[in-house]
């Protein structure tokens, strides 16, 4: 979120494509996530959890997460240039999204009337797909792929559009 604003000195002096800054942060986190999968698979081997070819499908939720994160990163980095206090508001929004995502609790304990609200969270189907592939060794549902492709298109396009439309005005606010 702060990547464009933090590199304001470089952006003012030398022409560098501005989208490099938020995308480099997202991609470096993605590489860190990929490297963290090595201990996960090692623990699966040491604890006796059987490794299936379905576990290799973990690449799909990772790609969906990368595209959604890139879109949100581009969107938030462009908003943060104009509204620098947005990073404080984002920490509150991120906390709400974290509790709306059933990571620390099973989705089965959520009352049925609140499930549509939980389903609006783009991280919910990603987490469910991770669980299906890694924990349960089952194939992800085709509907989950369609939902995540839709989320990826929406967030990726929205982030690219907002960043593209606002990047020429960054220099006036850095």
What pLDDT is recorded for position 16? 81
Which pLDDT score, from 0 to 100, does residue 86 have?
Answer: 86
Predicted local distance difference test score (pLDDT) of residue 59: 94
| pLDDT in the model for residue 147 | 94
43 pLDDT higher than 90: no
**pLDDT at 160 (0 to 100):** 95
**Banded pLDDT at 23 (limits 50, 70, 90):** very high
Which two three-digit tokens encode residue 158? 């929205």
b (16+ CB within 10 A) / e for 144-157? beebbeebbeebbe
> pTM of the full predicted structure?
0.88
DSSP labels, 156-167: HHHHHHHHHHHG
Poorest-confidence range of 48-62, 67-81, 155-169? 48-62
Cβ neighbours for 152, distance < 8 A, ≥ 6 positions apart: 64, 67, 68, 71
Q: How confident is the model over 56-103, as pLDDT tens digits? A: 899 999 999 999 999 999 999 999 888 888 888 988 999 999 888 988
Return the exposure string of 24-54: e unless at least 16 CB atoms fall within 10 Å of the residue's CB, then b. Answer: ebbeeebeeeeeeeeeeeeeeeeeeeeeeee
Residue 49: its pLDDT value, please? 77
- CA dist 162 and 165 (Å) reads 5
User: Which band of pLDDT confidence, cut at 50, 70 and 90, is reported for residue 28?
Assistant: very high
């Amino acid at each position: 979120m702060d990547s464009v604003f933090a590199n304001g000195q470089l952006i003012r002096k030398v022409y560098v494509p501005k989208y490099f800054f938020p995308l480099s942060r997202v991609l470096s986190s993605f590489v860190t996530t990929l490297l963290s999968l090595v201990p996960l698979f090692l623990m699966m081997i040491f604890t006796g959890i059987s490794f299936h070819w379905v576990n290799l499908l973990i690449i799909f939720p990772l790609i969906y997460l990368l595209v959604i994160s890139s879109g949100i990163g581009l969107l938030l980095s462009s908003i943060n240039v104009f509204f620098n206090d947005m990073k404080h508001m984002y920490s509150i929004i991120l906390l709400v999204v974290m509790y709306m995502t059933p990571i620390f609790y099973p989705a089965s304990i959520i009352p049925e009337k609140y499930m549509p609200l939980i389903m609006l969270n783009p991280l919910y189907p990603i987490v469910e797909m991770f669980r299906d592939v890694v924990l349960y060794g089952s194939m992800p549902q085709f509907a989950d792929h369609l939902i995540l492709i839709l989320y990826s298109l929406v967030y990726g396009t929205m982030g690219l559009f907002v960043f593209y439309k606002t990047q020429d005005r960054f220099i006036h606010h850095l």
